[in-house]
Structure 1
Amino acid sequence: MNQKYKITCALTVLTLALAGCAGKSAKVPEVKPNPLPKLTQASSLVPVFSTSVAATDAADPLRLRLDAENGVVFAVNPNGEVTAFSGKQKLWQKKISKDGLSAGVEANDGVLVVGNQKGQLFALNQQSGEQVWTAQLTGALLAPSLIHAGRVISVTNDGTVYGHEVATGKQVWTYNLPNVQFSLRGMSAPVVLDPRNVLVASSNAYVYVLDALTGTPKMQRRVAVSDGRSDIQRLIDIDGEPVVAGQFVVTTSYQGQVTVLDLASQQVIWSQDASSTQRPEVVGNAVIVAQNDGKITAFDITSGQTIWENDQLLNRQLSNPVMLAGQLVVGDLDGVLHLIDPSTGQLIGRSKTSGEVRTLRVIDNQLYVSTRKGALSIWQSR
């Protein structure tokens, strides 16, 4: 098992470290989030579904999420429950783990999978909620698994990648990511590259292409570097999922860079300094990044040139940005969903949910939102 120190509070770890070095008399300056700017337009989102589950620890970067398949929505509760909804009707609810749940939901191929911090991976029947199989992994599951090519691909917080058969739960392969001494507490979820292969990102700023069926590595490439002096300052994890956009793979890293990798040449086309633990978004020829300081930047995907920047949401602990019906959406620490013109970066509207927004995703032209407070909701464009 890989041994490494997992550091929580990713966005404040440097401040705390520096404060500790300064001595007891030093005071850490209070960083206040920017106030919400006034809007000249009034676009908003329409809520179509919501449910509440248990809250998660503020210091734990869990990205619990909703998922849907065949019109059924699946929600995971940190207290160990999974629930299925058709519209607003509850189809079933199952308590599957007395140790709680920390990762999921991923729904595909008639099953759904969730995991917990004890390394237990659960597969449930989508129609009934009955448990199909359980597997014991070596580390905590803090990011959703991926169901692809007949495999459940999971990454544990000790850096082990697993491939299990979807139908039986039989472990088919494992792949060990390189050991690092220090890293943030959290992992990037695996993503689909093509019908046969998956992309996995690591705590040492590498991306790997693995054969989903066999676990055979097809490519590895470093996509970010750090010039920090201390172990803390050299943290350079990729915690946001890579984005595949045609021939390009786009990544972001903590205290590192936003990088575009060309799959054909396996070479980095460009990289620009930007610290982010969030998944980027690709809109046409623009790579849009929500940075840890709250700045949102759009880069040209082929050149890395800055297209626009928005610094109106500084220190608001932004979520990953997503595209919904031609508008860019990003969430913040107060549960505000900000609507942005993706061509200019101008704020054009907002809506409100409850609690710090942890994860945004778009499925079938609807926005799926999960917050630290346990508010799970679905929205659509007005």
Structure 2
Amino acid sequence: MNRQYKIACALTVLTLALAGCANKGVKVEEAKPSPLPKLEQAKTLVPVFSQNVASTDEADPLRMRLDVDHGVIFVINPNGEVEAFQGKQRLWQKKISKQGLSSGVEAKDGLVVVGSPKGQLFALDQATGETKWTAQLSGAILAPSLIHAGRVITVANDGTVFAHEVETGKQAWTYNLPNVQFSLRGQAAPVALDARNVLIASANAYIYAIDAISGTPKMQRRVAVSEGRSDIQRLIDIDGEPAVAGQFVVTTSYQGQVTVLDLASQQVVWSEDASSIQRPEVKGNGVFVAQTDGKITAYEITTGNKLWENDQLLNRQLSNPVMLGNDLVVGDLDGVLHLIDPSTGAIIGRSKTSGEVRTLRVIDNQLYVSTRKGAMSVWQNR
């Protein structure tokens, strides 16, 4: 564990109550979560499938994202296993790491890619779970990789971006992000910018566009600023993946801003103060942000005008928001899935899963939920 990694954990505990790796015996005063608001004629989701895998440490904020490809769900067990399910049927289960696993899953092009806290990158065959290749990176892997343009793009915890050939695992290139002394425990996953380029977000509040095939940098742009006086107050990580929506890239940062960048001009269209470690959701003309204090805010994408703000879920440690059909959905620390009217911000329904919701994904009009207790569940609208 490198020095930056340890500092990040301690600072997370002291400043967030999100807890990275708290020292035993030290109590952190946490704000009490708001009680659930009463709802009349509450809408609910329909459960499709659920499965339990091993839980993660309560103090560890890692999100352990699952993935789906060709109808098969791929999940990791933090103890070092990867499992594949088709409906309720387990297709295979493989133990691949004695050191455990620390990243979410990326499944594409016949591969399942996961990473370990020791910097080991594993590429498995989707059909069998057999290891096709492995690679050793320079730091812990805390976020899912991205398979794009024949490359597996991965960001190590020390700020090095690695690209490996999909078929062979041969290293194609590396790119070093600026080193920061202090950061939160976590890392935004790479995202596809277009057919060839990828977008990387970093702890220094910059985003970088890189050619996935050659590793050539195409753009770098600062998207958040901090006015804090101390090192802790100046933490301004981008831990949630940027959202690419047509000509715009939307980012959020911790203790920073929600920012919309125009890709054509590479200029910031607007930026508003907001603190979030979650990926923003974009739908139509709306940008939806779950803030670290539990507020959910909607902005107009071209102007930054605030459309609404909901403060009924304060201190409930919200997940990333997603659109499921016509509803905005966000999860919380008690496993509650809140359904929100995206036009007004009103909470219109809820459903319940098991354990703190870490990630939400919508794939083929179904909601995929991962929780800290290891509950993987699939839901759909009525």
Length-normalised TM-score, structure 2: 0.95
CA distance in 2 between partners of 1:34 and 1:9 (Å) = 26
CA distance in 2 between partners of 1:318 and 1:85 (Å) = 27
Residue 272 of structure 2 corresponds to residue 272 of structure 1: yes
Amino acid at match of 1:194: D
CA distance in 2 between partners of 1:38 and 1:354 (Å) = 21
CA distance in 2 between partners of 1:220 and 1:102 (Å) = 28
| Structure 2 gaps, min length 5 | 18-26
Following TM superposition, by how much is the alpha carbon of 1:2 offset from its aligned partner in structure 2, in angstroms? 9.3
Amino acid at match of 1:154: T
Partner of 2:236: 236
Amino acid at match of 1:268: V
Partner of 1:140: 140
Amino acid at match of 2:274: A
Q: For 1:252-282, what per-residue CA distance to the aligned partner results, in whole angstroms no more than 9, with x for missing partners?
A: 0000000000001101111000000000001
Structure 1 residues 135, 208: CA separation in 2 closer, same or farther (over 3 Å shift)? same
CA distance in 1 between partners of 2:282 and 2:379 (Å) = 21
CA distance in 1 between partners of 2:147 and 2:59 (Å) = 28
Following TM superposition, by how much is the alpha carbon of 1:91 offset from its aligned partner in structure 2, in angstroms? 1.0
Q: For 1:137-182, what per-residue CA distance to the aligned partner results, in whole angstroms no more than 9, with x for missing partners?
A: 0100110000010000001111010000011100000000001111
Paired residues for 1:241-320 under 5 Å: 241-320=241-320
Tell me the SS of whatever aligns to 1:4: helix
Partner of 2:351: 351
Paired residues for 1:9-24 under 5 Å: 12-14=13-15
Structure 1 residues 98, 179: CA separation in 2 closer, same or farther (over 3 Å shift)? same
Residue 333 of structure 2 corresponds to residue 338 of structure 1: no
Structure 1 residues 224, 337: CA separation in 2 closer, same or farther (over 3 Å shift)? same
CA distance in 2 between partners of 1:55 and 1:258 (Å) = 31
Structure 1 residues 50, 28: CA separation in 2 closer, same or farther (over 3 Å shift)? closer
CA distance in 2 between partners of 1:15 and 1:47 (Å) = 32
| Structure 1 gaps, min length 5 | 17-26
Amino acid at match of 1:13: L
CA distance in 1 between partners of 2:16 and 2:122 (Å) = 37
CA distance in 1 between partners of 2:257 and 2:89 (Å) = 44
CA distance in 1 between partners of 2:341 and 2:189 (Å) = 28
Partner of 1:364: 364
CA distance in 2 between partners of 1:155 and 1:88 (Å) = 33
Residue 176 of structure 2 corresponds to residue 176 of structure 1: yes
CA distance in 1 between partners of 2:73 and 2:166 (Å) = 20
Amino acid at match of 1:233: Q
Following TM superposition, by how much is the alpha carbon of 1:40 offset from its aligned partner in structure 2, in angstroms? 2.0
Residue 123 of structure 2 corresponds to residue 123 of structure 1: yes
Residue 156 of structure 2 corresponds to residue 156 of structure 1: yes
Following TM superposition, by how much is the alpha carbon of 1:12 offset from its aligned partner in structure 2, in angstroms? 4.8
The answer to whether the 8 A contact 1:160-1:174 is kept is yes
Paired residues for 1:212-223 under 5 Å: 212-223=212-223
CA distance in 2 between partners of 1:2 and 1:265 (Å) = 38
Partner of 2:198: 198
Identity %: 77
CA distance in 1 between partners of 2:240 and 2:30 (Å) = 27
Residue 84 of structure 2 corresponds to residue 95 of structure 1: no
When the two structures are aligned, how many residues end up with a matched partner? 372
Q: For 1:182-232, what per-residue CA distance to the aligned partner results, in whole angstroms no more than 9, with x for missing partners?
A: 111110000010000000000000000000011110000000000000000
The answer to whether the 8 A contact 1:4-1:179 is kept is no
Partner of 1:8: 9
Partner of 2:227: 227
Following TM superposition, by how much is the alpha carbon of 1:51 offset from its aligned partner in structure 2, in angstroms? 1.1
Tell me the SS of whatever aligns to 2:105: strand
Partner of 2:23: none
The answer to whether the 8 A contact 1:53-1:77 is kept is yes
The answer to whether the 8 A contact 2:188-2:239 is kept is yes
Partner of 1:377: 377
Following TM superposition, by how much is the alpha carbon of 1:59 offset from its aligned partner in structure 2, in angstroms? 2.4
CA distance in 2 between partners of 1:347 and 1:123 (Å) = 41
RMSD over aligned CA atoms reads: 1.6
Partner of 2:22: none
Structure 1 residues 58, 347: CA separation in 2 closer, same or farther (over 3 Å shift)? same
Tell me the SS of whatever aligns to 1:14: helix
Structure 1 residues 11, 298: CA separation in 2 closer, same or farther (over 3 Å shift)? farther
Tell me the SS of whatever aligns to 2:15: helix
CA distance in 2 between partners of 1:57 and 1:74 (Å) = 20
Deviates more, 1:82-91 or 1:132-141: 82-91
CA distance in 1 between partners of 2:30 and 2:153 (Å) = 41
CA distance in 1 between partners of 2:238 and 2:29 (Å) = 27
CA distance in 2 between partners of 1:327 and 1:9 (Å) = 37
Tell me the SS of whatever aligns to 1:269: strand
Following TM superposition, by how much is the alpha carbon of 1:68 offset from its aligned partner in structure 2, in angstroms? 1.1
CA distance in 2 between partners of 1:11 and 1:154 (Å) = 23
CA distance in 1 between partners of 2:156 and 2:271 (Å) = 28
The answer to whether the 8 A contact 1:102-1:115 is kept is yes
Residue 12 of structure 2 corresponds to residue 46 of structure 1: no
The answer to whether the 8 A contact 1:239-1:278 is kept is yes
The answer to whether the 8 A contact 2:11-2:232 is kept is no
